[in-house]
Amino acid sequence: MNWYKKAQLYNKTRKEYQNFDKNVYDPLSEEERDIYWKNLRKREDEWDTDVSRSLAIGKLSPEEAHRQGYDIRKPDRGDDRYSINGEGKISPLPEILYHVTTSKGAVISDQLKTRDELDQGSGVGLGGGTDNTISFTENLEIAKDIYRTIVEGRRATTGDLGIEEMISDAKNGIRANNPWDGEWIERLKTNIGVRNLEEIRDYVNTDYEINSSMFPETVEGFLSKPTIKDESDK
């Protein structure tokens, strides 16, 4: 799709651009319907992304976008609307924004990209947010905390940060204003049923296996995963 054509998407309503045709859909086989819906979702994503960009650079007002099917005021998503959580307000961006990444080289050599632009079915970084947006913060301290958390997470997964150090940090309030072991216990109580630091220690030191239905167990497995493509891309 060329940029001129892409720039015209917001001139149609979301439902018009989606272009669902019941007369075409009903006679299709189950496999053909899956392909039809994939292409339909692709068109929805194209429209959502274009209107988001148009709002961001001032081509559209929130009121105009709302009339076309883009809703930042309601938490519920209707069949023919694109809804995000918000209060119906769009504010000017701060002069300085921060973004934390685990792929600095790729960002410098190319640019920041959304998950949609990277053709990722799901995020492989910090996650969160919608597929057609990029997360930023205007608070440098928050950016530093995100960076620190990434480093700590890597230390934990490689074994450089052990459970005894974690418990000591929690008891002594390291990198916090107060001890945070109580808060840690409350969170883990819901997730894994532990009630105190000793049970956390016992749990971590027990042989267990973390499985994920979303990601393969190895890097090689991840790289060998087929990328989901719409039939229109063939």
Which candidate, 61, 70, 45, 51, places its Cα nearest to that of 9?
A: 51
Question: Distance between CA atoms of 156 and 65, rounded to whole angstroms?
Answer: 45
Per-residue pLDDT of 5-40, as tens digits, reads: 444 666 888 888 888 999 999 999 999 999 999 999
Contact 15, 67 (CB under 8 A): no
Q: Which one of 87-96, 126-135, 142-151, 204-213 scores highest in mean pLDDT? A: 142-151
- Which pLDDT belongs to residue 21? 92
Comparing 220 with 169, which gets the higher pLDDT?
Answer: 169
Question: Distance between CA atoms of 133 and 115, rounded to whole angstroms?
Answer: 8
* pTM for the structure as a whole: 0.61
Helix (H) or strand (E) holding 83: strand 82-83
- Which pLDDT belongs to residue 234? 40
- Domain spans of the chain? 3-83, 93-161, 162-229
Which of 66-75, 118-127, 191-200 has the lowest average pLDDT? Answer: 118-127
